[in-house]
Amino acid sequence: MGGQVTHGVAIAGCGLIGQKRAKALRGAKVVACADVLRERAEALAHATGATASGDWREIVKRDDVSIVIVATTNDLLAEITIAALAAGKHVLVEKPAARSVAEIDEVIAAQNKSGCLVHVGFNHRYHPALRKAQLLVEQGEAGEMMFVRGRYGHGGRIGYDREWRADPAVAGGGELIDQGVHLIDLARLFVGDFRDVRGYARTYFWDMPVDDNAFMLLTSHAGQTAFLHASSTEWKNLFSFEIYGRTAKLHAEGLGGSYGLERLSFFRMLPEMGPPETTIWEYPGADDSWGLELDEFLDDIAQHRQPAASLADARAALMVVESIYQESRR
């Protein structure tokens, strides 16, 4: 593989997600880490052989950096991405990529000017059950899409309503902009963009000024329905995404760990109808979605190819989010 470029990577935000990204990097090297909690930056720097900093501004412009991973709280995602693009770096920014449509439009403008690539971290697309589902749908195994149904939630933890996700200024919203955008993004993968958005973001349990439950009833341009619910009062961690075509149902469940064993069930209607032909794939191995996503982004860069999960995708998801927040305020 002589001649291959090895990218230097800067990681802004060294919390749980930043650490996962660092660990999942194959074929690129972390050279600099920043976090407002300097100890956190130092711990990750120590583990990766990188330089630590307490300020992201110090790392995004370094000459030895060609890729910036932005894994901060939501309020900094757009700002750091714009700065990195201005410095000529490619960017992997975690979802939701920005707190609002207005904010992401600035990022899109910055990208257009820079010519660099931006991948948005919709990592659920890279889970094996969902990849297999996409493949089966592309191969026509499910027939024309009719609707999708998604349920995604967790039960929080003590003090959850005092964390940054509970602060609208930092997070840009609550459960809808947190786990909800994953459901919206997955739904768009299967039925495309939405012409009609109904739904409610509601606060039932947590003592916080953002929503802890988001119910969505979306209609695609082709008339397909996405029926989605994200919850931070799910009590038993749950991920379930059901995809209905004219000839089959696909059901992705679990994300490993506390979300349960990941599996895809494929229910194929027989010509005589009645009970379907049923095949299930289980994925007991460790979650490799982070690694696959980064590999793909490195390939995108090598081939000057637009990332599959783009700023346009994040913008489309944020359009739904904003619309539901508006409907809920009425």
Residue ranges binding a second copy (CB under 8 A): 146-147, 149, 151, 155-158, 198-200, 202, 204-205, 213, 215, 217, 219, 223, 225, 227, 229, 231, 233-236, 244, 246, 248-249, 258, 260-261, 267, 269, 272-276, 278-285
At its nearest, how many Å lie between a second copy and the CB of residue 26? 15
> In whole angstroms, how close is the CB of 13 to a second copy at the nearest point?
25
Q: Which CB sits closer to a second copy, 58 or 282?
A: 282
Q: What is the DSSP letter of 177?
A: I
Buried b (16+ CB within 10 A) or exposed e, 133-152: bbebbeeeebeebbbbbbbb
Tell me the H-state helices in the chain: 16-24, 38-48, 74-86, 101-114, 128-138, 168-171, 175, 181-191, 289-302, 311-329
Closest to a second copy by CB, 215 vs 297, is 215
Pick 243 or 311: Cβ nearer a second copy: 243
Is 101 or 146 the residue whose CB approaches a second copy more closely?
A: 146
What's the closest the beta carbon of residue 291 comes to a second copy, in angstroms?
A: 15
Nearer to a second copy, 120 or 148 (CB): 148
Of residues 167, 189, 197, 160, the one with CA closest to residue 320: 197
Place of tokens 């407002």: 36
> Pick from 305, 320, 72: which is nearest to 218 by CA?
320
Q: How far is the CB of 282 from a second copy (least distance, A)?
A: 4
Least distance from a second copy to the Cβ atom of residue 215, Å: 5
266 has which bridge partners? 250, 279
